[in-house]
Amino acid sequence: MRPPAIPLKVLCCSALLALVVFAWEPASGQALRDRILQAVDRSQLTVLQGNVHPLARPEFDQGGVAPSTPMRVTIAFRLSQAQQADLDALLAGQEQRGSPDCQRWLTPEQFGSRFGLSAGDINRVTAWLQGEGFQVETLPASRNMLTFRGAAQQVEGALRVAIHRYEVNGEAHFANSNDPSIPAALANVVLGIRGLNNFSLKPRLVRKVSPRFTSGETGNHFVTPLDFATIYSLNALYSQGITGTGQKIAVMGQSDIALSDVQAFRTSAQIANPSNVPQKIFADGTNPGMRQGDIDEANLDVDWAGGIAPNASVIFIVGDPVNGGGVFDALSYAIAPPSGTAIPAPVISISYGACEADFGAGGMAQLQGLMQQANAEGITVVASAGDTGAAD
């Protein structure tokens, strides 16, 4: 069973400390260089290997999806070799005392001006997508991904993929049955494509007991946030006024929750400041509703983040797992928010995962790039692995 102690203790000892962000300017003020140097020719294609979900297998195949099936797809951009070397050096310097980069965290805009794609290249990719009939969403400030919407039929034609229905363990999914192809002119800048399937990450909650605190009926005792504070010696922090005031924690989810339930939990658990309920953000503007199998994880994570740090601002960011990337969209929003939007919080708590083998090479590369961006921006990402440990 996933113990809440692991992420929440870290939140108390790390997230509640003041975070100082220093101003930073791109090295030598150089503009990003164009890397797409050839005309984007739809007849000259390159296959992007490693972008088929491992569970999109013939034995689970139920045939093609309806051509009108809505899809939301994200293209992740690759850093140039020079950019990757620069980022590696920056990340090392940010952690080294005495380095001029020590704890000088970047904003998403600063990250984009140094490690993103040039304006010219963004325009070329956008023109290609719009030429295929897609609706292109706002570019994130970090300039390292681009999201677009369209029907499955458009996606199949533009990326030369077949989008099929799959049934795995009684669950219905859609996914591409072959690796996508893109114009060869873009191969130098595209890292991978996300959103061609809806095999969403799974919550790591394992239900063992019904959480009812100290039962007035049976006398059985269940751990509350106040018990947790005693067990893990947090009361000394509370007595010093370290209760999360002025701090923000972003919790990732893929189900809506009722804020009245959060307030009821805080009141029942006798948490100070029970009216400090979280803010909700829907990553792609779509509310997926309250989803069976996800809502328990969502309530647990939101309740306990605010229960341990009662005065912190908890921001619950929700991704749509049906028509989008689910919690992965939420994670992307928290690290690479839309232009003009600040980073929601310097601490991210995510209790979703999957076996690394299920990500595929393309998915792992995109996740690693996103985590490096989080590091550069001074974001602490706390993840629970459940029973699968390091394989998750």
pLDDT digits (tens, 9 = 90+) for 244-253: 999 999 999 9
Which DSSP string corresponds to 321-380?
TTTS-THHHHHHHHHSPBTT---S-SEEEE-EE--GGGTHHHHHHHHHHHHHHHHHTT-E
334 vs 348: CA distance, rounded Å: 8
Whole-model pTM?
A: 0.84
Per residue in 226-266, pLDDT (tens digit) is: 889 999 999 999 999 999 999 999 999 999 999 999 998 88
Distance of CA 282 to the CA centre of its chain: 12
Tell me, what's the pLDDT at 214? 59
Between strands 347-350 and 248-253, the pairing is parallel
Dist. CA 391–CA 3, nearest whole Å: 17
| DSSP 8-state class, residue 320 | -
Per-residue pLDDT, 259: 93
How does DSSP assign 271-312, residue by residue?
-SSTT-PPEEEETTS------TTTHHHHHHHHHHHHHHSTTS
CB under 8 A, 24+ apart: contacts of 164-172: 164/56, 164/61, 164/62, 164/63, 164/64, 164/65, 165/61, 165/62, 165/63, 165/64, 165/65, 166/55, 166/56, 166/57, 166/60, 166/61, 166/62, 167/60, 167/62, 168/55, 168/60, 168/199, 172/62
Query: Minimal CA–CA distance to 382: which of 305, 320, 279?
Result: 305
Q: Which CATH class is domain 5-22+203-391?
A: alpha beta
Q: Give the helix, strand, coil percentages of the chain, each rounded to 5.
A: 35, 20, 45
Domain coordinates of the chain in residue numbers?
5-22+203-391, 35-198
- pLDDT of 218 reads 60
Report residues of the chain scoring pLDDT below 70: 1-30, 205-221, 386-387
| Helix intervals (H) in the chain | 5-10, 81-94, 108-115, 119-131, 152-159, 225-231, 235-239, 259-268, 295-308, 327-335, 360-376
Other beta carbons within 10 Å of 18: 6
> In 3-state terms, what secondary structure has residue 16?
coil
